[in-house]
């Protein structure tokens, strides 16, 4: 009989399945969630890594040892039978009742993980809503001497990309009881020890594009002080923000002076 997973093993399981899904969301069934330590399930839910999804349309039938995967029929208004499976395999079985709670399922996604990481790092989230690409923006992390744009690699082995480094997320993130612990100090050390001349830093064009997107988001909210809000979010003065926005993004095809 398999022993119950520890919180860290639950985290490793979720990360492995996200990586295998190549950036697309995964589903966690009610049966799986109920088998995990309660504190681990709670941490995943409260962090936003797990969000409730649509109820399952099919489940493993508990009517006999064959354990067939069957579609579920839901009939509201019947207090004695909320959900059921119609068995067509056996003559001695017709309807098999299914508790509605067993139809619950949860969704985990790279975007939810990236948002949680930004929160744990205490930095503004820089990603786009609904992004399912294999590399997701997390935000800009400032160290003591340098800064770096942090990205989350969601295809294959889940990893953080920053300052030219690639570090498996499982090496810097732990799930202890009902709390996540991110090794913030180790990541700041990577930011201050960049690899390569660029150091993995965000390009000027990418930064300008991100700031313009943030401004558009604030305008859509009806925020009239959008410049001040975005400047504060970026940790710069409004005058500096305007300077960045006034500069044209770098263009490879733009001729240099004297040409």
Has residue 258 been placed in a domain? no
Per-residue pLDDT of the chain (259 residues; tens, 9 = 90+): 456 788 889 999 999 999 999 878 999 988 888 889 999 999 999 999 999 888 777 777 666 767 777 777 776 655 444 776 677 767 666 777 777 777 788 999 999 999 999 999 999 898 877 777 788 999 989 888 888 889 999 988 899 999 989 999 999 999 887 889 999 999 999 999 888 654 445 567 877 888 888 888 889 889 999 898 888 777 778 888 888 888 755 444 444 444 4
Has residue 169 been placed in a domain? yes
Range of the domain at 91: 59-100
pLDDT at residue 198, rounded to an integer: 46
CB neighbours of 80 closer than 8 A, spacing ≥ 6? none
Q: Does one domain contain both 110 and 5?
A: yes
Q: Match 């504190």 to its residue by tokens.
A: 39
pLDDT at residue 252, rounded to an integer: 44
The structure tokens listed for 88 are 């067509």
pLDDT, tens digit, for every residue of 39-73? 999 999 999 999 988 877 777 766 676 777 777 77
Q: Does one domain contain both 27 and 143?
A: yes
pLDDT at residue 257, rounded to an integer: 47
Separation of alpha carbons 101 and 103, rounded Å: 5
Q: Report the alpha-carbon angle 29-69-43, nearest 5.
A: 5
Separation of alpha carbons 243 and 204, rounded Å: 12
pLDDT at residue 85, rounded to an integer: 67
Q: Does one domain contain both 163 and 230?
A: no
Q: Does one domain contain both 86 and 151?
A: no
Q: Does one domain contain both 22 and 149?
A: yes
Number of domains in the chain: 3
Q: pTM of the entire structure?
A: 0.69
Q: Does one domain contain both 195 and 207?
A: no
Q: Does one domain contain both 87 and 126?
A: no
pLDDT, tens digit, for every residue of 97-117? 777 777 788 999 999 999 999
Q: Does one domain contain both 18 and 112?
A: yes
Has residue 259 been placed in a domain? no
Has residue 254 been placed in a domain? no
Q: Does one domain contain both 87 and 149?
A: no
Has residue 257 been placed in a domain? no
Reported as type and span, the H/E element at residue 147 is strand 147-153
Q: Does one domain contain both 3 and 74?
A: no
Is 155 within 8 Å of 19 (Cβ atoms)?
yes
Q: Does one domain contain both 122 and 238?
A: no
Has residue 45 been placed in a domain? yes
φ, ψ (nearest 5 deg) of residue 207: -65, -45
Has residue 255 been placed in a domain? no
Q: Does one domain contain both 208 and 197?
A: no
Separation of alpha carbons 207 and 114, rounded Å: 18
Has residue 193 been placed in a domain? yes
Measured N-to-C along each axis, helices 226-234 and 204-220 cross at an angle, to the nearest 10 degrees, of 140
pLDDT at residue 175, rounded to an integer: 87
């Amino acid at each position: 009989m398999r022993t119950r997973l520890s919180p860290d093993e639950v985290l490793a399981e979720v990360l492995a399945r996200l990586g295998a899904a190549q950036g697309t969301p995964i589903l966690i069934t009610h049966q799986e969630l109920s088998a995990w330590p309660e504190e681990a399930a709670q941490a995943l839910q409260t962090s936003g890594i797990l969000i409730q999804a649509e109820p399952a349309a099919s489940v493993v039938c508990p009517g006999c040892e064959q354990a067939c995967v069957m579609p579920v029929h839901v009939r509201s208004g019947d207090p004695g039978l909320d959900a059921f499976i119609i068995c067509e395999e056996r003559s001695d079985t017709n309807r098999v009742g299914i508790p509605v709670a067993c139809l619950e399922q949860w969704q985990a996604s790279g975007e939810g993980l990236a948002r949680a990481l930004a929160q744990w790092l205490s930095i503004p989230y820089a990603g786009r809503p609904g992004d399912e690409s294999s590399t997701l923006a997390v935000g800009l992390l400032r160290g003591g001497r340098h800064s770096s744009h942090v990205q989350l690699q969601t295809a294959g082995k889940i990893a953080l990309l920053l300052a030219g480094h690639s570090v498996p997320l499982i090496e810097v993130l732990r799930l202890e009881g009902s709390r996540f612990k991110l090794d913030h100090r180790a990541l700041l050390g990577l930011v201050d020890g960049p690899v390569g001349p660029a150091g993995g830093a965000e390009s000027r064009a990418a930064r300008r594009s991100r700031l313009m997107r943030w401004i558009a988001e604030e305008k859509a909210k009806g925020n009239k002080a959008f410049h001040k809000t975005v400047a504060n979010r970026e940790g710069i003065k409004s005058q500096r923000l305007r300077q960045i926005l006034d500069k044209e993004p770098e263009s490879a095809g733009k001729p240099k002076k004297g040409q």
